Structure 1
Amino acid sequence: MQYNSIISFMQIMRIFLCLMLLGIVSISVLQAQKQQRPNIILILTDDLGWSCFSSRMDDRLPDSKSDYYETPNIDRLAAQSLRFTRGYAPDPICTPSRRSIQFGQTSIRQGDESFPAAYAPAESRYKAIPQVLKSIDSRYKAAHFGKWDLRAKISPEQLGYDESDGDTGNKNGDISSDREEKWSQFFITDNPKQIDSITYRSIRFMQAQVKTKTPFYLQVSHYATHVNFETRKESYERFSRKPVGNKHNNPAWAGMINDLDEAIGELLKSVDALGIANNTYIFLMADNGAVEFIPPVRNRLDPPSSFTTQMRNYPLRGGKWTLYEGGIRVPFMVRGPGISGGAQTDIPVAGWDLLPTITELAGQTVQQAPADRDGVSLAALLRNGGKGSLHRTADDFYFHRYNNGYPHSAIISGDYKLIKFWKTKKIELYNLHNDIGELTDIASREPGKVKELEAKLLRYINQVNPTLAKTY
């Protein structure tokens, strides 16, 4: 009897010790995960077209790169990244696109004039990228340097950023703001578009976090390549000597993007020098496409055949201010641990996917997304070479151009894209699979598809922003 009691006691102790060991291991794993939270860097460029780099955005399309500009550092980043050939900016202009990225929502859902009141921090239930990251791990530090431009009297600090340049806009990046001459003037300077000072502050922020072993989110929002044209003397002189291309031919703009590329190269070097490359995800995208011509034209909605020269976003149609592909399809790439460099995927994604992607990479467990969030996490694609599928509530993409002159909305559904012009009542339909340049309007040929997509578009608008459809 005593013997059995001893055995029983020893068994209980063995079980207890096993459970205790398991608990210690579990705690150790959780602590290790917490200590290894990844760093996230978002490089957001301004008014930069899909085909403005010296490397292809789509390996199959020779014209998906510049015939004049040079971007060796971005090209190197692209070779180390997963590239999204169908990466979309949330909007064809700066402000709504930047708002969308912060909150993971379409600009249709957020509204335009209603945004400042609805998203005021004291009133809003919506959380921006830094706020969500800090809810995952309070150790996260966040910084935003460069162009903010939410135009809502909301500062970066009110959305969870610990450091920033403040509530900045285009004028903060310019030497001069002469609106009349901005498309013909250019400025020679040692710090074009604040490129170097933004990069310096970004590197200093990274150094401080690495020193204290603190995970960070860094958004580097460059003013370049928005007008005005600013560049270094040596850059301008170099491209003035270089033969121009058919679609790209402005030496001041070429100098500016080259200066931007060098600064991005310095940032990437610092990531390597700090020893954090293996635990840092780097996203690069643009807030919208490049302007269609320099200077831009008033008849920008006209088909490419109306013009005697190639548009700057060729082979895409249009540019900034329109929902043609040139206005919203932008460079979109991600580098980081577990991501196969040099791969590309045709699965469409958008800027509103950044928030859920970043938060999952930071360790947020997969959970039911808020009903008012349009973005989904791209983490599974990033880890699988761009292969697989995304589980969206709706597989369609919705866009709207807030503009009193030519307001228009668009829906992208698979290979099809429908554009609805509210004032003229015109509807255009394109098959992007075989018509990336949107040259052939097939609306009259496929009335059933027009009816289907217009109904989807109106249903979404009426669901998330019912006042929008009544505006026009």
Structure 2
Amino acid sequence: MWSGAASAAGTADPSPAGYPPSTGGAGDGPGAVGRRRPRGGRGGPRAVLGAAADGGAPEPSGLSERDDASPPRPDAGEIVTLNVGGTAFTTTRSTLAAVPGSLLSRLADGAPVFPLRDSHGAFFIDRDPSQFHVVLDFLRAGRQACLLPDSRPALVRLAAEARYYELPSLAEEADAEVLRLAAKPISRGLVLQLLHSSSDGRLQLPATKLCGLVLSFLRLVDSTFTGCDFAGADLSGSDLGRCQATFASFAGANLTSATLAEARLERSVFRSATMVRANLAGADLRSADFTRCDLRRANLTAASVKGALWGGATLEKAVVIGVDLRGADMQGLVLREANFEGSDLSGAVLRGSDLSRANLWGCQGLESADLEGCLLAGAILPPGVREETRRGSTLAAGAGPGAADAEGASGSWTAQVPARSRATSTSAFRGREDGPAPRQGTAPQPRQRQRIVWIMADDLGYGEPSYMATDSPHGRISTPNIDRLSSEGLRFTSAYTGEAVCSPSRGSLMTGYHTGHAYIRGNYPYDGHDLPLRNTDVTYAEVLRGAGYRTLWVGKSGLGWVDNSGAPWRLGFDYFYGQPDQAGCHDMYPVGYNGTDPAAAGRPTVFDNTTALYLPQNVGASRERCMQQGGGGCWYTHDAWTNKSLELIEQEAARQRAELAAGAQEAAPFALLVAYTDPHAGGWSGEQETGAPVPSDGQYGKEAWPDVERDHASVISNYLDRDVGRIVQALQQQGLQEDTVVFFASDNGAHNEGGHDVHFFNSSGPLRGYKRALFEGGVRSPSWIRWPGKVAPGTSDQPWAFWDVLPTFADLAGANRSAYPADIDGRSIVPLIDGSGAYNASERLFYFEFCTDIQPWVGGSNRKGWTHSLRQGDWKIVAFELDGEYMLSNLADDLGEENNLASSHPDIVQRMAALAKGQHTESALFPSHDCRPS
């Protein structure tokens, strides 16, 4: 039945007499149109993205096509010749059968789909032969060997022929290439103009050429980029969540820390792209091309990757949880410390890959995966496994789940493998022979996500830590612990708070929104307490708890009261110990309510979770009594917050050790928020704020300063600084410091209240303004981060803000991007923290708005009405009304915001004013035209 020339299968040998030369080989045949340029954008390889692996969910086209991981092996006994439109093509029956259900597959199975024969006995197909060589290339070796034509007419013909032969993937790829070739170039300026003029923030840019554009840190959620060419573009830090970008090309692009969660990216090209820490959770990546991609620390949780190409990709420390990798060809890849927990690896080809210290716990299908030659030192494997001997010839009884080899061993040779080794090959799990013998009974190597500790001061000025102090008229306030710890980590000189006052700043930290979009935009009096966060507000604690963290909060809240939606235990925290009420937080010696005294019922109260504490020792607290030797028996909130924090660290360390001893593969990490009230002005047992009431002035007791200034210096030196050191020391003592990232910040700028003069110690340093002002002195924080072994000591002037905390914590925890709203203003600063990728904030918008008139107790120079400010790059504007005149400063030249450049740069003022208005959504509670509460 099968006839044709007796040549090696799949070659382009001379055709039978009277036939034109065959186009069945790899070279261009008579139907080729010009040069076949490789695909991938701007000269990169252009391999077809049409084939899908067999089995699993159907392709979007409705047909399941050939499995590229296992190309057909021609059988010389099955050679067949086809006459397509008068041109002979020699191939094999197995090639024609490569895509089950297709027209050529049915021909290979003997169906009479082409009943006519030519004079040589070849099957006659009355179709255009010019693109049939592409069809055969696709059938022979799939996407990686198939090159598309270079012109639109040829691609249109190829799409028509592919559909005729019932190869929808090839047809769709040809259609996509038609879109790419038709893409029209667009400038970065026009992209930004369209984005800012869009009513819903979505771009509609199908088939657009955006090659090489700098589009970093943009919010492009729900936008349409079908068939777009982003080759070489910088999209680092941008949010493309839920975007429609099928058939798009990101070849060579910078997608570091970009968010592509739940995006539609079928058959898109990412060749040679940098995708370090990119968030691809839940994305549709079927038949995408990740060849030579840098996917270190990327998040692919629950992504659809059927038919994706991985050749040469690096997925070190990537999160690949719950992914269907059945039949995936991932051989020879760098997969060190990657987390494949719960993924399906049935039939996956991983031979020669580096899986050292990878987490394969809970993976399905390992018995059918090909792991020959893999590096498996320290890999965590499922329970019920066996250890294979070094020679790989037999399976010896294993010791159960755990590390495959000793940590730090050179080379690798074995892993603990599932007992049901596939019958066809007892060497499926054999590793390389160049490593040492295993340690019998080696304990499991646990994976441990980092713990998070956020220490927050209250009203600490930018220039008050001694390492930041400049020109203090009364000398620098001593902060040796803060100086030392910050020098061991990364100091930030352009870190922003969430607002210029307490509650909205903390709300921004919790929810990821700046005050132009947040619900809480001021210290708003509400039902005798504070305006609470709503039930619908997603907090960082909820995100972390959803990722398996224990969430703990000690100290000040100010985001609600115990009987409303702002109670800490309703905001995602497993444990709270502190003062929920904003005003009550400034009572440094609270008494509380004993449950019987009606006169004390309204007093601010300290809570241990939901239990109100009664502190009779603070009845009658005063400066004279509480500052006497021994503290006069007074209960000081700062000391209580510190002691509880130290207790929690010890308890959490013991819990984690117990969980690991019980066989857990990871001890649940914890996130601890320590929210001090220092050096905020406070009172003694409910009296009016009179500075910083401390039990001792310490070394400042002999200074000839006003009491309030001695107290101010002491609370920073002898309490805040001392106990920041004690908290870090506790982490060290419990052996937790290397897996714990410690943040330090202040909630807003220095205060000028309770008799304290902000100029006494030059608390704002080189900055203009202080608390409640939107100049830099009101919103910059003396922030730093310490993470031994992960963060190199240094100083960064890259700006970030409190609204970046939620996505940063989520990134550190490996949380799914869908766990929090896609429209938050924050962006993860993990690339800035650990250097894992580029972080460029030059185009980011740092927007603040504030109204002091909602606070009837504020007066004098602190009462300024409604103000707003915006920083982008080095430029900053400040205005005191929605449509008022702007002050323009260049922070690179004028950090103190002393010179108004508005008149000399009206174009910049106009542009930034428009950007600022675009960051403001009107609020009924905080109206810009009348910001007093109704």
Q: Same fold (TM over 0.5)?
A: yes
Q: How does 1:106-185 map to 2 (within 5 A)?
A: 106-112=514-520, 119-121=533-535, 124=536, 126-137=537-548, 140-151=549-560, 153=564, 154-165=566-577, 167-175=580-588
Q: Displacement of 1:221 after TM fit? A: 0.3
Shift of 1:192: 8.0
After superposition, residues 132-281 of structure 1 pair within 5 angstroms as: 132-137=543-548, 140-151=549-560, 153=564, 154-165=566-577, 167-175=580-588, 188=627, 190=631, 194-213=637-656, 214-228=668-682, 229-233=692-696, 236-241=697-702, 250-258=709-717, 259-281=719-741
Work out the CA distance in 1 between the residues paired with 2:533 and 2:752: 32
SS in 2 for 1:110: coil
- The offset of 1:172, in angstroms, is 3.8
Identity of aligned residues (%): 27
Q: Distance in 2 between matches of 1:451 and 1:217?
A: 43
Which amino acid letter does the alignment assign opposite residue 188 of structure 1? M
Distance in structure 2 (CA, Å) of the matches to 1:465 and 1:371: 23
CA separation in 1, counterparts of 2:538 and 2:445?
24
CA distances 1:357-387 after superposition (whole Å, capped 9, x unpaired): 11111223678974321111111111129x8
Distance 1:433 1:33 in 2: 48
One-letter amino acid matched to 1:280: T
| Aligned-pair CA distance for 1:336 | 1.1
Per the alignment, in what secondary structure is the counterpart of residue 217 of structure 1? strand
Distance 2:460 2:892 in 1: 23
CA change 1:26–1:399 in 2 (3 A) is: farther
8 Å Cα contact 1:130-1:160 kept in structure 2: yes
8 Å contact kept, 2:586–2:680: no
> Equivalent residue for 1:3?
none
Cα deviation, residue 71, structure 1? 0.9
Question: What is aligned with 2:873?
Answer: 414
Q: Which residue of 2 aligns with 1:402?
A: 851
Distance of 1:439 and 1:372 partners within structure 2: 35
SS in 1 for 2:917: helix
Q: 1:216 to 1:362 in 2, by over 3 A?
A: same
For 1:201 and 1:288, how far apart are their aligned partners in 2? 24
Q: Is the 8 A contact 1:291 1:320 kept in 2?
A: yes
Q: 1:283 aligns with which of 733, 738, 743?
A: 743
Counterpart code for 1:316: L
User: For the structure 1 residues 231 and 113, does the alpha-carbon distance in structure 2 shift closer, same or farther, using more than 3 Å as the test?
Assistant: closer
Q: Does structure 2 conserve the Cα–Cα contact (< 8 Å) formed by 1:320 and 1:328?
A: yes
**Alpha-carbon deviation of 1:294?**
6.9
Q: CA deviation at 1:242?
A: 5.0
* 2:795 counterpart (344, 349, 360): 344
Cα 1:132–1:367, aligned 2, differ >3 Å: closer, same or farther?
closer
Shift of 1:441: 1.1
**Distance apart, 1:255 and its partner CA:** 0.7
Higher relative contact order (CA 8 A, sep 6+): 1
Q: Secondary structure at the match of 1:283?
A: strand
Using a 3 Å threshold, how does the CA distance of structure 1 residues 458 and 52 change in structure 2: closer, same or farther? same
CA contact (8 A) 1:54 1:66 kept: no
2:585 & 2:753 partners in 1: Cα distance?
Answer: 24
In the alignment of these two chains, the number of paired residues is: 430
> Equivalents in 1 of 2:822, 2:924: separation in Å?
14
Q: CA deviation at 1:35?
A: 4.0
Shift of 1:426: 3.2
Distance change >3 Å, CA 175–CA 380, structure 1 → 2: closer
**Which is greater in Rg?**
2
Distance 2:559 2:448 in 1: 32
Alignment deviations for residues 377-402 of structure 1 (CA, whole Å, 9 cap, x no partner): 111111129x832479x611110112
Cα shift at 1:165: 2.3
**AA at the equivalent of 1:147:** K
The one of 427, 436, 446 equivalent to 2:905 is 446
User: Which 10-residue stretch deviates more, 154-163 or 62-71?
Assistant: 62-71
Counterpart residue type for residue 845 of structure 2: D
Deviation at 1:339, TM superposition (A): 3.6
Distance (whole Å) between structure 2 residues aligned to residue 110 and residue 206 of structure 1: 32
**AA in 1 matched with 2:673:** Q
Question: Are 2:749 and 1:335 aligned?
Answer: no
**2:917 alignment counterpart:** 458
Unaligned runs of 5+ in 1: 1-11, 178-184, 301-306
Question: Normalized against structure 1, the TM-score is what?
Answer: 0.80
Residue 362 of structure 1: aligned partner: 813
Aligned residues of 1:74 and 1:265 also touching (Cα < 8 A):
yes
CA distance in 1, matches of 2:464, 2:636: 18
Aligned-pair Cα RMSD in Å: 3.8
Question: Which residue does the alignment assign to 2:606?
Answer: none
Pairing partner for 1:97 from 497, 500, 505: 505
Name the CA distance, whole Å, in 1 between partners of 2:929 and 2:556: 33
Distance 1:67 1:366 in 2: 47
Q: 1:77 to 1:350 in 2, by over 3 A?
A: same
The range that moved more, 32-41 or 440-449, is: 32-41
